[in-house]
Amino acid sequence: MAISSRIIAQNKKARYDYQILDTFEAGIVLLGSEVKSCRQGGMSLMDSYARIEKDEIYLVNAHISPYKFANQFNHEPLRRRKLLFHRLEIRKFHGKLREKGQSLIPLKVYFNNKGKIKVELALAKGKKNYDRREDIKKRDMKRDTEQELKQRR
């Protein structure tokens, strides 16, 4: 019996604030109460990012709400969570992150087909205000042309 992929949390503002250069999938180390809270949709990726510390990658500022039935064994909502990558991948990220303005941003957290929680990370570069305005202009022009084509049909 296959479990369908289900999105737990999404960082919608990331694509607006950053230019996505590459995406990667990683596992995440969670406590039992965190997994149960994620199943209820209690996760937020606002203002979260990934950081390399001592040859390991951690997800920082990702908020997972406390599970109300966990009592004394509950977790800390904003704790750092380890991401599971191969050592060679971490070295590759380390080299890329040294370039000016690049960072690791989580795009979404989801259950994969096997029921495991995965994080989609992006190697991203911050956008300037004029880049954002340019993107808005392109989107508006595309929408206008599609509307014109619809009306002609």
Residue 102 contacts residue 124 (beta carbons within 8 Å): yes
Q: Which of 66, 67, 89, 88 is nearest to 78 (CA)?
A: 66
The mean predicted confidence, pLDDT, of the chain is 82
> What confidence score (pLDDT) does residue 112 get?
84
Domains and CATH numbers, the chain: 7-127 (2.40.280.10)
Q: What pLDDT shows up at residue 62?
A: 84
The band of 91, judged by pLDDT with boundaries at 50, 70 and 90, is confident
Q: What is the pLDDT of residues 94-119, one digit of tens each?
A: 878 877 778 888 998 888 888 788 88
pLDDT at 48 over 80: yes
Q: How confident is the model at residue 6 (pLDDT cuts 50, 70, 90)?
A: confident
At 52-79, the pLDDT tens digits run: 888 888 988 888 888 777 777 777 778 8
Cα separation, 59 vs 112, whole angstroms: 19
